[in-house]
């Protein structure tokens, strides 16, 4: 792309020309000597049988700089877990599969739930949260990246460009968010971001005036992308949303913990396509309608913590402002599609806007009915404080499920930690305490 504009409050890293991938990866190999990198792949078992994940794994098998790959596997029985182990076996990196439906992790999940520390619903948020806990338990990753497993246009440049900003030895950036244009064949895609999120944020900015949080969100070119990378110390402190507001929730947590100078967005793909969800306009419990509703609630909750007073009248005004803003932006997208020879169905686009308009009101009603709802899973700092051995126990459970203890961390003498079966855990007196390593929550940076 020819664009090099820096706008908004975060750094934008463009794709300026075509740098050879080999030179990029060679630098990442050097960075990895001091900042080891771990990639997290939240996956459904069904994605192993789809068209995208086999290609992703083939590409990752050629990546030279990754220290390890952590796969969060959902909706898999015992036979499917064994098939998953065979499926990922061709990866040459150190690899670890979290079988979330297996008895060991289920037992540990029940123990966390009894303390009020476990995720309350299944989904990507729960998957990612446990993967992050495992990565922290391993204690080897200085940088952690994450992307989805349904990317149909995947190639090795995507993780390389995603990791580079946070892995670079001379960089102070601690969080990078991937962005790209959403083109599905000959059609403009990305409806929730184009037609819902950005018009919603800009409508809120009109209503509220100067607001640092909204300005921050409006700085992202594709705020709902599922690809990001961050430093290991940030992983421990952020909370993961339990609902479909994962991407926006993570942006809000990063905003709370980091200065905007430490945050960037990076162009990671010239072409990007993945599976598409139905609009589901008649059912706000599914599809893009549900996604937009939960994203709106995530934004409302954050604004409330910033001191914004929300009411029925506020949401009615927001609905009217959003609808006008979204239709105006639809005209912009129609012109953009036309000059690029892309198809844009204005009728279908307006139907989406009408559905999203209802999401704004429904999200407002649900927020006002339960303003104290806490959709975030506790961060790992809190969990470690309550259960100092939690990291070791997750690591042991995964090692036992994967049939190898080679991935266990070493004790003070350099020997592998004692084998622990979570179905028959060892007494607490025999576990090495990590209480001294617990990091206290940090105060937000100045200006936040």
**Average pLDDT of adjacent 10-residue blocks, the chain of 448 residues:** 82 92 97 97 96 97 97 97 97 97 97 94 93 96 96 95 96 96 83 95 97 97 95 94 83 96 95 69 73 93 93 97 97 94 93 95 95 85 95 97 62 40 38 35 44
Q: How is residue 22 written in tokens?
A: 């080999």
Q: How far apart are CA 37 and CA 142, in angstroms?
A: 6
The alpha carbon dihedral of 147, 98, 114, 382 has a sign of negative
Identify the pLDDT of residue 62.
97
Specify the DSSP class assigned to residue 422.
T
Q: How far apart are CA 289 and CA 287, in angstroms?
A: 5
Q: Contact 137/390 with Cβ under 8 angstroms?
A: yes
Q: How far apart are CA 379 and CA 384, in angstroms?
A: 9
pTM for the structure as a whole: 0.88
Is 150 domain-assigned?
A: yes
Identify the pLDDT of residue 275.
67
Is 341 domain-assigned?
A: no
Q: Contact 146/227 with Cβ under 8 angstroms?
A: yes
Is 149 domain-assigned?
A: yes
Strands 187-188 and 240-241: unpaired
Is 301 domain-assigned?
A: no
Structural domain range at position 147: 11-183+212-274+373-377
Q: What are phi and psi of 296, to 5 degrees?
A: -60, -45
Q: How far apart are CA 224 and CA 109, in angstroms?
A: 28
Is 52 domain-assigned?
A: yes
Identify the pLDDT of residue 283.
64
Identify the pLDDT of residue 312.
96
CATH number at residue 234: 3.90.550.10
**Coil, strand, or helix at residue 180?**
strand
Is 25 domain-assigned?
A: yes
Q: How many domains does the chain have?
A: 1
Identify the pLDDT of residue 53.
97
Is 190 domain-assigned?
A: no
Identify the pLDDT of residue 335.
96
Strands 143-146 and 187-188: unpaired
Helix ranges restricted to H, 283-345: 287-305, 312-339
Is 138 domain-assigned?
A: yes
Identify the pLDDT of residue 273.
77
Specify the DSSP class assigned to residue 168.
-
């Amino acid at each position: 792309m020819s664009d090099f504009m820096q706008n908004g409050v975060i750094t934008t890293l463009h794709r300026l020309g075509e740098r050879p991938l080999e030179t990029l990866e060679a630098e990442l190999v050097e960075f990895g000597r001091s900042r080891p990198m771990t990639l997290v792949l939240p996956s459904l078992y069904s994605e192993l049988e789809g068209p995208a994940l086999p290609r992703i794994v083939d590409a990752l098998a050629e990546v030279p700089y990754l220290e390890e790959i952590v796969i969060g596997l959902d909706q898999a029985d015992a036979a499917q877990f064994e098939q998953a182990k065979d499926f990922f076996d061709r990866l040459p990196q150190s690899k670890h599969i979290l079988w979330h439906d297996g008895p060991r992790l289920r037992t540990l999940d029940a123990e966390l739930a009894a303390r009020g520390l476990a995720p309350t619903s299944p989904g990507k948020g729960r998957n990612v949260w446990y993967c992050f806990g495992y990565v922290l338990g391993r204690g080897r990753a200085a940088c952690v990246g994450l992307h989805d497993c349904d990317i149909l246009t995947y190639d090795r440049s995507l993780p390389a460009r995603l990791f580079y900003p946070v892995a670079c030895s001379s960089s102070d950036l601690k969080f990078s968010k991937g962005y790209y244009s959403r083109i599905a064949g000959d059609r403009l895609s990305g409806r929730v971001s184009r037609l819902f999120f950005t018009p919603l944020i800009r409508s809120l900015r009109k209503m509220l005036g100067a607001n640092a949080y909204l300005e921050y969100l409006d700085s992202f070119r594709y705020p709902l992308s599922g690809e990001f990378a961050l430093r290991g110390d940030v992983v421990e402190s952020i909370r993961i949303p339990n609902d479909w507001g994962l991407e926006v929730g993570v942006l809000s947590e990063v905003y709370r913990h980091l200065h905007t100078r430490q945050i960037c967005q990076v162009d990671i793909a010239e072409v990007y396509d993945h599976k598409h969800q139905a609009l589901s306009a008649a059912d706000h419990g599914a599809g893009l309608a549900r996604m937009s509703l939960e994203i709106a609630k995530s934004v409302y909750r954050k604004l409330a913590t910033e001191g914004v007073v929300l009411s029925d009248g506020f949401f009615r005004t927001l609905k009217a402002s959003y609808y006008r803003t979204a239709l105006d932006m639809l005209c912009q997208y129609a012109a953009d599609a036309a000059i690029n020879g892309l198809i844009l169905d204005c009728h279908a686009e307006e139907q989406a806007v009408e559905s999203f308009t209802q999401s704004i009101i429904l999200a407002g009603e649900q927020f006002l009915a339960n303003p104290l709802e806490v959709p975030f899973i506790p961060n790992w700092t809190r969990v470690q404080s309550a259960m100092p051995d939690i990291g070791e126990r997750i690591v042991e459970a995964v090692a036992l499920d994967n049939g190898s203890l080679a991935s266990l961390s070493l004790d003070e003498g350099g020997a592998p930690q004692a084998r622990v079966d979570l179905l028959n855990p060892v007494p607490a007196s025999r576990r090495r305490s990590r209480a001294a390593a617990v990091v206290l929550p940090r105060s937000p940076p100045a200006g936040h």
